[in-house]
Amino acid sequence: MPQTHEPQTDEPRPDEPKPRQSKPRQEPPRQLHRPGTPGDTFGDPSRGTTRDTAAALRTATVARLRGAHRAGVRRATLVTCVLVLMLLALLVTSVLLGGVRRIPAGDILPAAFGLRTGLADYVIFRIRMPRALAALLAGGLFGLAGALYQRLLRNPLATPDIVGFGGGAGAGATTMLLFAPAVPFGASLAGLGGAFALVAMVLALSRRRGTMDTYRLILVGIGLSGVCTAYVNYLFTVAGQHGIAQVMRWLVGSVNDATWEGVSTLAGALAVCGLCAALLGRSLGSMALGDQLAQGLGTRVGGARIAALLVGAAAAALATSVTGPIGFVSLISGPIAVRLVGADRSIALAVPIGAVIVLGADVLAQHGPLISPVPTGVLTALLGAPYFVWLILRRRQGATA
């Protein structure tokens, strides 16, 4: 029989398996990148929102910090201007009050600059101007030393007179005043040497396991200050009557016998110590965050601490060598500056505050009703002793709370 051929078709037979069909490969959707921000997609709204929020917070924080800085600068400028005006007013008052009634008004200002002779030159240029300038400059040095120590040791009780460096300066200056009073700048050099010697002993005795213990430094300083006081009392037993009277007036703290030689010493000391304190400002700011963090920021903590101790001791010693230990000025000036402008600018502002305190106390000591004439240190002690007691009681309450 003839064979019949079926037409060939593409459809598979029922008894044959169906061939596998390959599916087309699907490519992942392409991500559209923002220009300049790789990896950030238009289609992910959460990432864009987070980025915008972080940028807004960063901008707000920077703006807030700048505003706080500008406000602090304006406040510090205003307070400085007020203190300068107070100093000028006190300076004029100190020169004009008392003893100038027989001097013509037209001779007062020229006599203050040494352009007159006779009575005007003697009263104004040789007595009143040195006294007023010595009070102003010594107050600035005491304020600088106190604020520097309080900032360094982070303790409001850590001042040169409390720690004991003022006692070392007093012992050295007393020795020179009793046994070699005619040596030029002898009291200043001896006071500086005594203060530096006491700093060396305090640093050597306050070290524990290679590091300086602040609490131990204060206690050692107070103990060595007692030793210096006993040494001065011993000198009184071997000195003559004239020397004892002179040293007693000096130990109370007074600018009554101030001379232009002492004024030049104080002016040079304030310029040098102020410059050194300004150079140490950045290191002190980082050390306020802690020694470890300060070392991480690149600050040489040991060298900066010793330099600050020496600068503060030099400022207190040179002021003490001219005016005597005018007490509690370094204790008061720093906290007042902190309350007015904050801790960052307290060292610079403590200088005019200390000057206002000492010069104002001297004006009251000369012309105050019911109290004048008294040494300047008596009035500063009357103001500073109650504050010292209040500060100790406050720290005690804070420790027991």
Render 211-280 in DSSP notation, one character per residue. Answer: EE-HHHHHHHHHHHHHHHHHHHHHHHHHS-HHHHHHHHHHHH---TT--HHHHHHHHHHHHHHHHHHHHT
pLDDT of residue 45: 55
Which of helix, strand or coil describes residue 13?
coil
Of the candidates 155, 152, 160, the residue with the CA atom closest to the CA atom of residue 299: 152
Give the least confident one: 7-11, 174-178, 273-277, 373-377. 7-11
pLDDT of residue 96: 81
Residue, of 162 and 19, whose pLDDT is higher: 162
Decide if 281 contacts 347 (C-beta within 8 A). Answer: yes
Decide if 354 contacts 142 (C-beta within 8 A). Answer: yes
Is the previous residue joined to 373 through a cis bond, with omega within 30 degrees of 0?
yes
Does the pLDDT of residue 219 top 70, yes or no?
A: yes
Q: What is the mean pLDDT of residues 10-38?
A: 51
Decide if 299 contacts 283 (C-beta within 8 A). Answer: yes
Measured CA to CA, the distance from residue 322 to residue 19 in angstroms comes to 113
Pairing mode of beta strands 37-41, 207-208: unpaired
Helices marked H in 259-345: 260-279, 281-287, 291-296, 301-323, 329-341
pLDDT of residue 30: 53
Q: What is the mean pLDDT of residues 336-357?
A: 89
Does the pLDDT of residue 329 top 70, yes or no?
A: yes
Residue, of 1 and 59, whose pLDDT is higher: 59
Decide if 365 contacts 374 (C-beta within 8 A). Answer: yes
Range with top average pLDDT, 143-147, 155-159, 220-224? 143-147
Which of helix, strand or coil describes residue 375?
coil
Give, as one character, the DSSP assignment of residue 324: -
Of the candidates 139, 162, 153, the residue with the CA atom closest to the CA atom of residue 392: 162
Residue, of 379 and 356, whose pLDDT is higher: 356
Confidence of residue 290 (pLDDT cuts 50, 70, 90): confident
Give the least confident one: 13-27, 107-121, 192-206, 372-386. 13-27
Decide if 320 contacts 169 (C-beta within 8 A). Answer: yes
Q: What is the mean pLDDT of residues 369-393?
A: 80
What are the tokens at 139? 């107050």
Which of helix, strand or coil describes residue 72?
helix
Measured CA to CA, the distance from residue 207 to residue 130 in angstroms comes to 42
Does the pLDDT of residue 218 top 50, yes or no?
A: yes
Range with top average pLDDT, 84-93, 239-248, 389-398? 84-93
- Average pLDDT across the chain, whole number: 79
pLDDT of residue 202: 85
Confidence of residue 247 (pLDDT cuts 50, 70, 90): confident
Measured CA to CA, the distance from residue 227 to residue 220 in angstroms comes to 11
Decide if 312 contacts 125 (C-beta within 8 A). Answer: no
Q: What is the mean pLDDT of residues 158-174?
A: 82
Pairing mode of beta strands 33-34, 37-41: antiparallel
Q: How many Cβ atoms from other residues are within 10 Å of residue 320's Cβ?
A: 34
pLDDT of residue 386: 82
- In one letter, which amino acid is 91? L
CA separation, residue 66 to residues 61, 62, 73, 301 (Å): 9, 6, 11, 29
Does the pLDDT of residue 29 top 80, yes or no?
A: no
Measured CA to CA, the distance from residue 181 to residue 177 in angstroms comes to 5
Measured CA to CA, the distance from residue 286 to residue 256 in angstroms comes to 41
Whether this prediction's pTM lies above 0.85 is answered by no
Measured CA to CA, the distance from residue 155 to residue 168 in angstroms comes to 21
Give, as one character, the DSSP assignment of residue 39: E
Measured CA to CA, the distance from residue 340 to residue 356 in angstroms comes to 15
- In one letter, which amino acid is 119? L
Residue, of 55 and 79, whose pLDDT is higher: 79
Decide if 270 contacts 139 (C-beta within 8 A). Answer: no
Which percentage of the chain shows pLDDT scores above 90?
15
CA separation, residue 371 to residues 58, 67, 128, 362, 364 (Å): 59, 47, 20, 12, 8
Q: What is the mean pLDDT of residues 145-161?
A: 84
Which of helix, strand or coil describes residue 83?
helix
What are the tokens at 189? 């050099």
pLDDT of residue 33: 47
Which percentage of the chain shows pLDDT scores above 70?
83
Does the pLDDT of residue 101 top 70, yes or no?
A: no
